[in-house]
Structure 1
Amino acid sequence: MDIVASGARYRVIDDFLPPNELVEIRSLMKRRRFEEVPSVIYPETDGHAFRSRGAVLRQDTEAPTAESREQNAQPTAFRTILRELGAHQDMFGAPGEDWSAVGFSFWQYPAGSRLGWHNDVATGRLGEFVFFLHEEWKASWAGELVILDADPETVDVDTTGMSAMEAVEAKASLASHALTAVVPKPNRLVLVQEGTIHCINRVDRTAGTTLRQTMTGFVAGAAPAAAQRSVDRLTSFLGSD
């Protein structure tokens, strides 16, 4: 596990999971059902992606839930993810104090799809993570996670009359900062601070049937209801990267 790149608002970690835990997460993803969903940014031009049911990891996850036992999914990799998020308190705050749950879902982007510029701002979110799960990726297949590594409030752009999405793209287009493109390398984890402007470049047609696959989610301050345990549905936590 190595931090190979970092900026003011993001961090890239390669070789994140050991082989056994990576197999575990990929196996869990393969058993999930996926639903084809239109882009929430620019549905006319972004194309469609496929999303699994959302789930939540509580910060105090210690043992398999009934659901995970039923799916033969042990929580070892989940605990590894939670520990890593907790190790970056400068980005997300202290686990158990500033945040108590991490929501996630699995995403698959086919050739021809992308996700336009956005910033994932929502009440209670402290940041997000994107973990690349496909087994192979070539740089020519594109699909990069592109990040504007700057506080959006410091980008001085006249957004009068623009929609929220148009304003975000205008800031990405006109900011003096250079954009950072993160190649979706397998077993690469990307941590992103809340409110960061980013997008997914279109997956090139040369990817063929290979899907850009991620486990994507959000660090959040609000815990699930007391009756819910380690892994539960919570659709408000769904990610899109």
Structure 2
Amino acid sequence: MNVVASGARYRVIDDFLPPDQLAEIRAVMERRRFEEVASVIYPETDGHAFRSRGAVLRQDTGAPTAESRDRDEQPAAYRTILGELGSHADMFGVPGQDWSAVGFSFWQYPAGSRLGWHNDVASGRLGEFVFFLHEEWKASWAGELLILDADPETLGVDTTGMSAMEAVEAKASLASHALTAVVPKPNRLVLVQEGTIHCINRVDRTAGTTLRQTMTGFVAGAAPAPEQRSVERLSSLLGAV
């Protein structure tokens, strides 16, 4: 495991899991049932991806929470991922104090699909991670995670009269900052600070039947009072909104 790249708002860690844990989490993914879903950014042009049901992991134990349907499935990789997230307090805050759980789903992007520019801002999220699980990936297959490594609030782009989605697109298009392209290398973990503008580049047709496979999750703020728990919060943590 080693940090191979970092910026103001992201970190890239290669060879993240040891072979046994990597095989275990891939097996978990293979057992999942996937549903074809339209893009929530640009459904007409992004194409479709495939999403598994989500799970929410407790920060203190690494186990799925009571809300999760995966309470009996607790691979060691879950604890390794939570431990790594907890070691980046400068990005996500102090575990157990600033955040209490992580929600995630498995995703598969086929050739021809992408996900347009967005910032994943939603209630309760402090940041996110993307962990690449496919067994092979060639750079010519594209599918890169593109990151605008800048505080979106400091970008000198006039977004007057734009919708939130249009504003994100404008900042990505007009900002003077160079974009960072992270190739979806197998066993690569990418950590992204909350609110960072990013997208998934379209998977090239030369990928054929190979799927861009990830475990993608959101770091959740400390649990609210019981009366504040809601379906909206859970959906936010699972990436459903």
1:210 maps to: 210
Greater relative CO, 1 or 2 (CA 8 Å, sep 6+): 1
Q: Is the 8 A contact 2:56 2:238 kept in 1?
A: no
Unmatched tracts of structure 1, length 5 or more: 227-232
Q: Is the 8 A contact 1:54 1:235 kept in 2?
A: no
Answering whether residue 54 of structure 2 is matched by residue 43 of structure 1, we say: no
Unmatched tracts of structure 2, length 5 or more: 227-232
How far 1:63 sits from its partner (Å)? Answer: 5.8
Pairwise CA RMSD: 2.0
1:25–1:224: structure 2 CA closer, same or farther, 3 Å change rule?
farther
In structure 1, give the amino acid aligned to 2:32: R
1:78–1:160: structure 2 CA closer, same or farther, 3 Å change rule?
same
Alignment partner of 1:158: what SS?
coil
How far 1:198 sits from its partner (Å)? Answer: 0.1
> 2: CA distance between counterparts of 1:109 and 1:85?
24
> 1: CA distance between counterparts of 2:65 and 2:89?
27
Render the CA deviation track for 1:74-97: whole Å, top value 9, x for unaligned: 431100000000000000000000
Q: After the TM superposition, which of the residue ranges 180-189 and 73-82 deviates more from structure 2?
A: 73-82
How far 1:124 sits from its partner (Å)? Answer: 1.5
1:125–1:8: structure 2 CA closer, same or farther, 3 Å change rule?
same
How far 1:118 sits from its partner (Å)? Answer: 0.2
Q: Is the 8 A contact 1:52 1:107 kept in 2?
A: yes
Q: Is the 8 A contact 2:55 2:70 kept in 1?
A: no
Q: Is the 8 A contact 1:107 1:216 kept in 2?
A: yes
How far 1:139 sits from its partner (Å)? Answer: 0.2
Q: After the TM superposition, which of the residue ranges 161-170 and 42-51 deviates more from structure 2?
A: 161-170
1:65–1:46: structure 2 CA closer, same or farther, 3 Å change rule?
closer
TM-score (norm 1): 0.91
How far 1:224 sits from its partner (Å)? Answer: 8.5
1:80–1:225: structure 2 CA closer, same or farther, 3 Å change rule?
farther
> 2: CA distance between counterparts of 1:11 and 1:44?
31
2:84 maps to: 84
Alignment partner of 2:191: what SS?
strand
1:15-54 map, 5 Å: 15-54=15-54
How far 1:225 sits from its partner (Å)? Answer: 8.9
1:116–1:6: structure 2 CA closer, same or farther, 3 Å change rule?
same
Number of aligned residue pairs: give it: 232
> 2: CA distance between counterparts of 1:133 and 1:239?
18
Answering whether residue 201 of structure 2 is matched by residue 193 of structure 1, we say: no
> 2: CA distance between counterparts of 1:190 and 1:62?
19
In structure 2, give the amino acid aligned to 1:182: V
1:230 maps to: none
1:1-241 map, 5 Å: 1-61=1-61, 70=72, 73-223=73-223, 234-239=234-239
1:214–1:37: structure 2 CA closer, same or farther, 3 Å change rule?
same
> 2: CA distance between counterparts of 1:120 and 1:135?
27
1:20–1:225: structure 2 CA closer, same or farther, 3 Å change rule?
farther
Give the share of equivalent positions with the same residue, in percent: 88
Q: Is the 8 A contact 1:119 1:168 kept in 2?
A: yes
- TM superposition outliers: structure 1 runs of 4+ over 3 Å: 62-70, 222-226
Q: After the TM superposition, which of the residue ranges 120-129 and 142-151 deviates more from structure 2?
A: 120-129
Q: Is the 8 A contact 1:101 1:224 kept in 2?
A: no
Alignment partner of 1:100: what SS?
strand
In structure 2, give the amino acid aligned to 1:124: G
TM-score (norm 2): 0.91
